[in-house]
Amino acid sequence: MTIEEILKQEKNRLIKNNIEDASIIAKTILQNILKVSRNDILKTINCNIDEKKVAEYKNAIEKIIEGTPFQYITNNQEFMKLPFYVDEDVLIPQPDTEVLVEETINISENENKKEILDICTGSGAIGVSISYYIKDSIVTLSDISERTLNIAKKNAIQNKVEDKIKLIKSNMFDKIENKFDIIVSNPPYIKTDIIKTLDKQVQKEPAIALDGGNDGLTFYKILINEAPEYLKKNGCLCMEIGYDQKNEIIELIKQSNKYKKTYSKKDLSGNDRIVICYI
């Protein structure tokens, strides 16, 4: 069987199973299995593919049909133009989160705030990107999950910032001791009941990365109430939020009586996406 034949066959299998972007997914996964670039695949399109690779490819396509996001098969997601390793132990970094990273980078540069804590770091997408783009930053990445922290470390190494970051396994602030200029977080924020109604792709992501408790606000309450203890003078808390959570979160900030200035920003689709508050 040639590369062209298997590609066509598996693409059609994806289409029959109503998988969006079938053509791109079929090609990306094959490139990944053959370890070749897009150009190389075109050059070798008439070559035969060996049986083992065919089996591996069909197996991967089967997983896609069952709902596995293709990033868990290729073990890669680009974020802030950087490559991130991902697998079933971490949330796949989302394009919307780039708004949070861009705003945090702006604050860091404009206000000379260089000591940064990324709490609930997951793959390290936020903290590693900040560390990469702000050369004189010192970024701490923390998460409750050991497996997740191993992936964050792998991503720090992959993006050559491992010498500038610290990793701490901590249940929210439990093991955090220092004070920071900025605390940034994209915590779990989906209401427990909603999780089972989401796309099957999202449900393949770790529940611990999604579940924000009954009201979706469990982690914001901890962040808003406890962050001031870990912030330096004029420090700020930068949070990603769910599209419908802005009012509730701003109310929590007001009720805490711990912050002087608060603002929010939208993502590229026009949804409220981040809230920033200064002590």
**Residue 218, H or E segment:** helix 218-226
Among 37, 59, 171, 178, which residue sits at the site for ligand SAM (rule: CB under 6 A)? 171
CB 77 within 8 A of CB 92: yes
Distance in Å, CB of 230 to ligand SAM, minimum: 13
Under 8 Å CB-to-CB from 135, ≥6 apart: which residues?
none
CB 190 within 8 A of CB 210: yes
Distance in Å, CB of 254 to ligand SAM, minimum: 24
Q: The dihedral of CA 234, 239, 244, 248: what is its sign?
A: negative
Backbone angles phi, psi at 101, to 5 degrees: -65, -45
| Residue 54 or 120 with smaller CB distance to ligand SAM | 120
Among 120, 134, 151, 275, which residue sits at the site for ligand SAM (rule: CB under 6 A)? 120
Among 26, 29, 49, 93, which residue sits at the site for ligand SAM (rule: CB under 6 A)? 93
Q: CA–CA separation, 32 vs 75, rounded Å?
A: 9
| Residue 124 or 235 with smaller CB distance to ligand SAM | 124
Q: Does residue 242 bind ligand SAM (CB under 6 A)? A: no
β-bridge pairing 231-240 and 82-84: unpaired
Distance in Å, CB of 222 to ligand SAM, minimum: 8
**Residue 216, H or E segment:** none
Only segment of 33-41, 90-98, 132-140, 266-274 that touches ligand SAM (CB under 6 A) = 90-98
Q: Does residue 182 bind ligand SAM (CB under 6 A)? A: no
* Residues at the site binding ligand SAM, with contacts judged by CB under 6 A: 91, 93, 97, 120-123, 125-126, 143-145, 148, 171-172, 186-188, 208-209
